[in-house]
Amino acid sequence: MRRQPLTDTITQLTRMRIMNAYLVREDDGLTLVDTMMAGSAAGLLAAAAASMNAPIRRIALTHGHGDHAGSLDALRAKLGSDVEVLAPERDARIMAGDRSLEAGEGSRRLKGSWPKVAAKPDRLLSDGDRVGSLRVVASPGHTPGHVAFLDLRDNALICGDALHTLGGTTVAGVRNLRFPFVTMATWDPDRAADSARELRALQPTLLAPGHGRALREPLAAIDRALERTTTDTRSPARLGGAKSS
Ligand SMILES: [Zn+2]
């Protein structure tokens, strides 16, 4: 597990070069954002002990896909009920096994891996909630309930899979041949593009994605990625491409 301090309060953890989780320092200990795929719990705990020398107090998920929620049950088993589990309200229902869509969500089917998660969240997250110093920012599209976390101390943004930076900064749902997996797993590209625009409007000083390296002063890179949402996700050509994937 690779550890990279990004700010005074955020450390990026990376597994297999493609999958990130984040440790966020608070006064009472650490918040772990996302848990990677199944089999990552021991590595995440070792990384937390080695890098920040503080206990994990809470685990917050950006969304319920297997490469973000996959080690949640194992972490809960190791850390016990002292650790608080927080998950986006909408995705928590899917994680519990209910894949039905709600009114207003259209007819798109869920994509990506959704392992059934036994751990019941202690708190369900909605837009504007606080998790320590982090503000929950609803950013649906990649999944119906996807959220990002904005660190209010320095405006660093942990963006989950709303955007990624492998093979170039890319909005979820936009084609990226070098790392196609985030887009393949994206539920609604148009909603994802709208969410990316809203995240950009927060003017983050740092973009910390679920996949790929973190970007400092990321606005120009996000703007370039956003330009591709209008051409790639809404044109007839993109719709043709979506059918074949
Ligand atoms: Zn995902």
pTM: 0.93
Res 237: pLDDT? 43
Cα–Cα dist 134/98, whole Å? 28
Q: What Rg, from alpha-carbon coordinates, does the chain have?
A: 17
Res 230: pLDDT? 79
**How far is ligand 1, taken at its centre, from the CA of residue 186, in Å?**
7
Cβ atoms 140, 129 nearer than 8 A: no
Tally of structural domains, the chain: 1
Res 231: pLDDT? 64
Which residues span the domain enclosing 189? Answer: 2-244
**How far is ligand 1, taken at its centre, from the CA of residue 69, in Å?**
9
**Which CATH number goes with the domain that contains 46?**
3.60.15.10
Q: Cα–Cα distances in Å, from 97 out to 93, 108, 116, 141?
A: 7, 17, 6, 19
**How far is ligand 1, taken at its centre, from the CA of residue 193, in Å?**
15
Instruction: Of 69, 27, 63, 62, give the one whose Cα is nearest residue 44.
Output: 69
Nearby residues for ligand 1 (ion, Cβ within 5 Å): 65, 161, 185
Q: Which residues of the chain have pLDDT under 70?
A: 231-245
